[in-house]
Structure 1
Amino acid sequence: MAQQERAIRTRYTVLEAAAEVFASNGYEASTISEIMSLAGVTKGSLYFHFSGKEALAHAVLQHAVIVKPDNPVKMQAVVDLGLLLAYRLPREPLLRGAARLAADQNARPFFGGPWPQWRDVIATLLAEGRSQGEVFEHIDPLETANVLVGAFTGLQLVSTVADGPDSLLLLASDLYRLVLPGIAVPGVLRVLSTGPDRAHHVFDVLGQPGWDLPVTFDNVPGASFPVSSGQVEAPVPPSKR
C-alpha cells in the first residue's frame, strides 16, 4: 500500500510539473527534461508513468476537471461555471496547464479546439434556460456559448499580466455583468448573482476535485475537459406570469 501511495504521489507530482511547464511554454516549446527537472524525478520514473510528452498533455487535460454547478436556474449555472473556473485557474496548475493546451494553436492538431466541452455545457444550459423562459427567445445557445468562451479566453490572457490571483475572477464578474442583460430576461437577471463572492461560495460548496485515485489513460479523448456535476443553491427567479 505504501508503495502504491508513493507511485500515485509521483504520478501527480509529474503531472503538476508538466502542467506548469505547459502553462508557461505551450506544448511545442515544452520539453521532457524541463518537466523532469521541475518534478525532481528521473527519466525512468517519468517514463514509468507516461510514454512521452503527448501522453502527459492528454493526462493533464483529462485531470483538469471542470465542475458543472447544478441548480434549477440555468443562467445562474452558466455564471457559476465561469466564475468557478476563473477562481480555480490561477490556483490549480493542472487546470492552468490544460487551459494553455486547449488554446494552443500548435497543439490543436493533437488535442482539438479550445474549451470544446465547456462550450457545449454552456450551450446546453442556455438551451435549457431558453426553454424555461430564462433566456430571450432570439438567443442562439451555441453561438452565445462560443462568444462567452471566446471572451473568457481573452480575459484569461489579459489576466496573466495583471496582479493578484483574483484578477481573472474580477474580469469574469465584469463580463457577466455587462453581457447578461442581452441574454437573460429581466425577471431572471434581477436575481442572478455575478459578483466575485459567488465564486467563493460555489467553490466552498463543490470543493476541489481530488487526485488520490490511480487513473489509466487509454483511449483518452482530445481536448475535452471532464465535467462533473454538483448541487449549488441558487436564487429562484420569479414565476413566469
Structure 2
Amino acid sequence: MARPRQERAERTREALLRAAAETFDESGYAGAGLNRILARAGVTTGAMYFHFKSKEDLARAVIVEQAAELDFPRDQSGLQQLLDMCQYLAVEMQNNVLFRAGVRLAVEQNEAELLDYSIYDWWADQFREQLVKAREKGQLRPDVDEVAFSQVLVGAYTGTQIMARLSSGRVDLPERISTMWRCLLPAIAPPEVIAGLNLDPRPAGEETDAS
C-alpha cells in the first residue's frame, strides 16, 4: 500500500506545482490567490499543507524547479552548445509554463520577500560548464574569465527576456537573444571562431553544422 500512497502524494504535489505555475504566470505573486491555486489543482488546503507550508513556499518551489521539464539540446559543445541552449530557452520561455513562471517569480522576488539567489547560481553553472568546454576547444580569448562571464550572461539573458516580455509577450525573444549574442561574442571569442558559429534564431532541437 505504501507505493500507491506515495504515487498519489507525488501526483498531488505535481498538480499543486502546475496550478501554482499557471496562476503565478498569469497574475504574478501578489495577484495569485491561494484559493485560486487550490481550486485549479483540485486539491484541499490540508493536502497542500502536506507538501507546502504556504503560498510563499509554493512560489519558492516554482522558482527552484523551473528547469525540471527542460531537455537541453546536446548536439554540440562549447560556444555553439551555449548558443543553442540560449535559443532553446527562448522557445521554452514561450511554451513552458513552469519555466516561464519560475523565471517571472525569480525576477519579482522582492514582492514576496523570497530573496533566493540560488537559481541564478544554478543557471550560471550551466553556462560556465559550456564556457569551460569552449576553453578546452580553443574558442575563447585568453583573458576571458568563465565564472565572471557566466554571471554576466545570466544577467544579460534575464534583462533581455524581460524586455521581450514587455515589448511583444516574448514573441521576439529568439531574435533578441541572437542580437544579445552578436554583441557579447566579440568580447570572449576571436573573429575566426565567431565566423563558424550559427547565431540565427531557430526552433529548439534544430541541428547545426557548426562545431
TM-score, with structure 2 as normaliser = 0.79
- Determine which of 91, 95, 100 is the counterpart of 1:91: 95
- Does structure 2 retain, via aligned residues, the 8 Å contact 1:75–1:125? yes
Unmatched runs of 5 consecutive residues or more in structure 1? 203-231, 237-241
Deviation at 1:99, TM superposition (A): 0.8
Q: Is the Cα contact below 8 Å between 2:185 and 2:194 reproduced in 1?
A: yes
Residue 184 of structure 1 corresponds to: 189
Instruction: Output the CA distance in 2 between the equivalents of 1:108 and 1:119.
Output: 22
Indicate the residue corresponding to 2:122 in structure 1. Answer: 117
Corresponding residue of 1:104: 108
Distance 2:26 2:116 in 1: 18
Of 155, 158, 165 in structure 2, the residue corresponding to residue 153 of structure 1 is 158
Q: Give distance in 2, aligned partners of 1:164 and 1:26.
A: 15
Shift in Å, 1:79: 0.8
Match for residue 81 of structure 1? 85
Alpha-carbon shift at residue 73 of structure 1 (Å): 3.4
Q: In structure 2, what is the equivalent of residue 211 of structure 1? A: none
Q: Which moved more, 1:65-74 or 1:125-134?
A: 65-74
CA distance in 2, matches of 1:142, 1:25: 34
Tell me, yes or no, if the aligned pair for 1:50 and 1:56 is still in contact at 8 Å: yes
Instruction: Note the 1:33-72 alignment, pairs <5 A.
Output: 33-60=35-62, 61-62=64-65, 64-65=67-68, 66-71=70-75
- Partner in structure 2 of residue 131 of structure 1: 136
Aligned residues: 206
**8 Å contact kept, 2:132–2:146:** yes
More strand by share: 1
Residue 167 of structure 2 aligns to a residue in which SS? coil
Rounded to whole Å, the distance in 1 between the matches of 2:131 and 2:90 is: 19
| Equivalence for 2:204 | 200
1:93-133 Cα deviation digits (max 9, x unpaired): 11112112322342565522562211122123213312321
Report the Cα distance in structure 2 between the residues aligned to 1:114 and 1:43, rounded to whole angstroms: 28
**Structure 2 unaligned residues grouped into runs of 5+:** none
Alignment root-mean-square deviation, CA: 3.0
Contact kept in structure 2, 1:103 and 1:113, CA below 8 Å = no
Provide, for residues 156-177 of structure 1, a one-character-per-residue CA deviation record: whole Å limited to 9, x for no partner. 1112223365321221122123
CA displacement 1:43-100 (0-9 Å, x = unmatched): 2343344332243234322253354444553001111121111110121111112112
Structure number with the bigger relative contact order (C-alpha 8 A, sep ≥ 6) is 1
Aligned partner of 2:95: which letter? Answer: R
Structure 2 Cα separation of the partners of residues 162 and 88 of structure 1:
18
